[in-house]
A and B are shown apart, each in its own frame.
Chain A
């Protein structure tokens, strides 16, 4: 009689253990399954790269049909070029203003934090732009484009936070 009761308790314990294992399995693999954000990964990967790539190849609207790359090269070297006729902006100021306008219409409009830098030495950037209200706390995804200049290489970097 006592042995039969012991067997029943053992059977009950086995059932409880099986139910517990099943519960853990359900919680681990079904309830705690985090949704994957494929689009976010794709967008942040494409955004920094495409923004910089497109910007560098863009033709300046009122600066002798020079590209932004050529203006940046001048900015890092001699600043001989002047754009926009009467207002006469030097290449650095022209690139700065143009990029500021483009970023206001793109990343700022989409509420994306950014930091744009153009430099020969990273400690002394020629152009530095970031969100006026929300500065970038840390670079999460950034893209650097090297541009050859007479004295070496200059870099253009866009960080998306």
Chain B
């Protein structure tokens, strides 16, 4: 009777240690998985930011063209002025949300220097954890006087 009780106690002790080890392992594993998810989320946001930048660079509603041939790294100032008007921007907001998500896109003219910026899209995420800012220099073609200015495309991607 006493021997059997000792054996049962032994089994219970072994099981207790086993479950403690399993719990420690599970806690460790879940922490590792959580940090991996954070890393993957960060990488995904980076890819989204790159995708948004590339989409803006190749938007037909902004691209310059000469005799129907697309000019590389160039934005048409007339198209830009039209698209950045408040009324048009608000009308297109839903359409661009599918393309850019929570981000804001603006273009500034660096040379010849001009104050202010053309805001193309603005949908900031309230309570965003952080944001990526991508700046890409590009030409601004003014068809009125056939000149090219030096512009900067700024894309801010918000991360939840």
A residues neighboring B (CB under 8 Å): 26, 30-31, 33, 35-39, 42-43, 46-47, 50-51, 53-55, 57-59, 61, 65, 67, 98, 101-102, 105-106, 110
Decide yes or no whether B77 CB sits under 8 A from chain A: no
B residues neighboring A (CB under 8 Å): 32, 36, 39, 42-43, 46-47, 49-50, 53, 72-74, 110-113, 132, 134-139, 145-152
Given A59-B147, A102-B111, output 15 extra A-B contacts at Cβ < 8 Å.
A30-B32, A31-B32, A35-B39, A36-B43, A37-B46, A38-B46, A42-B50, A46-B53, A47-B136, A51-B137, A54-B137, A102-B110, A105-B111, A105-B113, A106-B137
- Let me know if A38 and B150 touch, CB within 8 A: no
| Alpha-carbon gap, A51 to B111, bound state (A) | 12
Task: Give 24 CB contacts A-B under 8 Å.
Answer: A30-B32, A31-B32, A33-B36, A38-B43, A39-B132, A42-B50, A43-B134, A43-B136, A50-B136, A51-B137, A53-B73, A54-B73, A54-B150, A57-B74, A58-B139, A59-B148, A61-B111, A65-B145, A65-B146, A101-B111, A101-B113, A102-B111, A106-B137, A110-B135
9 closest Cβ pairs, A-B complex: A59-B147, A39-B46, A61-B112, A105-B110, A51-B137, A38-B46, A54-B139, A50-B137, A35-B39
| Alpha-carbon gap, A102 to B46, bound state (A) | 27
Q: Which residues of A contact B139 (CB under 8 A)?
A: 53-54, 57-58
Q: Which residues of B contact A36 (CB under 8 A)?
A: 43
Q: Which residues of A contact B111 (CB under 8 A)?
A: 58, 61, 98, 101-102, 105
* Contact among B39, B49, B132, B152 with A106 in the assembled complex (CB-CB below 8 Å): B152
* Contact among A30, A35, A38, A47 with B137 in the assembled complex (CB-CB below 8 Å): A47
Q: Which residues of A contact B147 (CB under 8 A)?
A: 59, 65
Q: Which residues of A contact B149 (CB under 8 A)?
A: 58-59
| Alpha-carbon gap, A51 to B135, bound state (A) | 11
| Alpha-carbon gap, A65 to B144, bound state (A) | 13
Residue of A nearest to B47 (CB): A38
Residue of A nearest to B151 (CB): A54
Residue of B nearest to A26 (CB): B32
For the complex formed, measure the closest distance between the CB of A69 and the CB atoms of chain B, giving whole angstroms. 11
For the complex formed, measure the closest distance between the CB of B56 and the CB atoms of chain A, giving whole angstroms. 12
